[in-house]
Amino acid sequence: MRRTGRSALLFLLIAALVTSFSLSVIAASEGEEGAEDEGAGATTTTIESGLSPAVPVVEEEAAEPVADWTYRYMIPTGLALAAVVLLVTAIKYFTNVVRKRYRIVEE
Protein backbone atom coordinates (compact mmCIF):
# COMPACT_ATOMS: atom_id res chain seq x y z
CA MET A 1 0.00 0.00 0.00
CA ARG A 2 1.35 3.37 -0.95
CA ARG A 3 1.76 6.28 1.38
CA THR A 4 -1.14 8.19 -0.19
CA GLY A 5 -3.41 5.17 0.26
CA ARG A 6 -2.44 4.85 3.92
CA SER A 7 -3.00 8.57 4.46
CA ALA A 8 -6.42 8.46 2.81
CA LEU A 9 -7.40 5.38 4.82
CA LEU A 10 -6.26 7.03 8.04
CA PHE A 11 -8.17 10.21 7.18
CA LEU A 12 -11.36 8.24 6.48
CA LEU A 13 -10.99 6.30 9.73
CA ILE A 14 -10.56 9.48 11.76
CA ALA A 15 -13.51 11.13 9.99
CA ALA A 16 -15.71 8.10 10.72
CA LEU A 17 -14.73 8.14 14.41
CA VAL A 18 -15.40 11.87 14.75
CA THR A 19 -18.75 11.54 12.97
CA SER A 20 -19.89 8.60 15.07
CA PHE A 21 -18.89 10.37 18.27
CA SER A 22 -20.67 13.57 17.32
CA LEU A 23 -23.82 11.67 16.35
CA SER A 24 -23.89 9.91 19.72
CA VAL A 25 -23.50 13.25 21.51
CA ILE A 26 -26.34 14.78 19.52
CA ALA A 27 -28.58 11.77 20.24
CA ALA A 28 -27.82 11.98 23.96
CA SER A 29 -28.63 15.68 24.11
CA GLU A 30 -31.94 15.15 22.30
CA GLY A 31 -32.91 12.47 24.82
CA GLU A 32 -32.28 14.85 27.71
CA GLU A 33 -34.64 17.47 26.29
CA GLY A 34 -37.51 14.97 26.23
CA ALA A 35 -36.96 14.10 29.89
CA GLU A 36 -37.22 17.76 30.87
CA ASP A 37 -40.53 18.15 29.03
CA GLU A 38 -42.07 15.19 30.89
CA GLY A 39 -41.10 16.66 34.26
CA ALA A 40 -42.73 19.98 33.32
CA GLY A 41 -46.19 18.34 33.32
CA ALA A 42 -46.09 17.55 37.07
CA THR A 43 -48.21 19.84 39.23
CA THR A 44 -48.41 20.46 42.95
CA THR A 45 -51.16 21.94 45.06
CA THR A 46 -51.18 24.16 48.13
CA ILE A 47 -54.77 23.44 49.13
CA GLU A 48 -55.04 22.25 52.73
CA SER A 49 -57.71 19.61 53.22
CA GLY A 50 -57.43 19.32 57.02
CA LEU A 51 -56.69 15.60 56.82
CA SER A 52 -53.83 14.03 58.72
CA PRO A 53 -52.11 10.72 58.03
CA ALA A 54 -53.03 7.68 60.11
CA VAL A 55 -49.39 6.86 60.73
CA PRO A 56 -47.03 9.79 61.11
CA VAL A 57 -43.94 9.48 58.95
CA VAL A 58 -40.73 10.45 60.68
CA GLU A 59 -37.94 11.37 58.35
CA GLU A 60 -34.71 10.06 59.82
CA GLU A 61 -31.43 11.50 58.72
CA ALA A 62 -29.39 8.85 57.02
CA ALA A 63 -25.88 8.41 58.31
CA GLU A 64 -23.24 9.57 55.87
CA PRO A 65 -21.81 6.60 54.04
CA VAL A 66 -18.27 5.68 54.98
CA ALA A 67 -15.95 5.03 52.08
CA ASP A 68 -14.87 1.44 51.58
CA TRP A 69 -11.43 0.44 52.81
CA THR A 70 -10.32 -0.14 49.23
CA TYR A 71 -11.15 3.43 48.36
CA ARG A 72 -9.61 4.84 51.52
CA TYR A 73 -6.36 2.87 51.54
CA MET A 74 -5.62 1.03 48.30
CA ILE A 75 -6.18 3.91 45.88
CA PRO A 76 -3.84 6.36 47.69
CA THR A 77 -1.30 3.55 48.11
CA GLY A 78 -1.51 2.74 44.41
CA LEU A 79 -1.05 6.39 43.45
CA ALA A 80 1.95 6.73 45.77
CA LEU A 81 3.45 3.52 44.37
CA ALA A 82 2.96 4.76 40.81
CA ALA A 83 4.71 8.04 41.68
CA VAL A 84 7.63 6.13 43.22
CA VAL A 85 7.91 3.88 40.17
CA LEU A 86 7.96 6.91 37.84
CA LEU A 87 10.61 8.59 39.96
CA VAL A 88 12.81 5.49 40.10
CA THR A 89 12.40 4.96 36.35
CA ALA A 90 13.46 8.56 35.62
CA ILE A 91 16.51 8.25 37.89
CA LYS A 92 17.45 4.88 36.42
CA TYR A 93 17.14 6.27 32.87
CA PHE A 94 19.33 9.22 33.74
CA THR A 95 22.03 7.10 35.35
CA ASN A 96 22.09 4.44 32.63
CA VAL A 97 21.55 6.39 29.42
CA VAL A 98 22.29 10.07 29.82
CA ARG A 99 25.40 9.70 31.96
CA LYS A 100 27.03 7.39 29.40
CA ARG A 101 26.63 10.00 26.65
CA TYR A 102 28.78 12.61 28.30
CA ARG A 103 32.26 11.90 29.55
CA ILE A 104 34.66 14.25 31.26
CA VAL A 105 37.75 14.71 29.16
CA GLU A 106 40.84 15.22 31.25
CA GLU A 107 43.36 17.64 29.83
State pLDDT tens for residues 77-86: 999 999 999 9
Tens digits of residue pLDDT in 40-75: 556 667 778 788 878 888 888 888 888 787 778 888
The CA distance from 86 to 79, in Å, is: 11
pLDDT > 70 in the chain, percent: 81
What number of H helices and E strands is found in the chain?
A: 4, 0
The CA distance from 87 to 81, in Å, is: 10
pTM higher than the cut 0.75: no
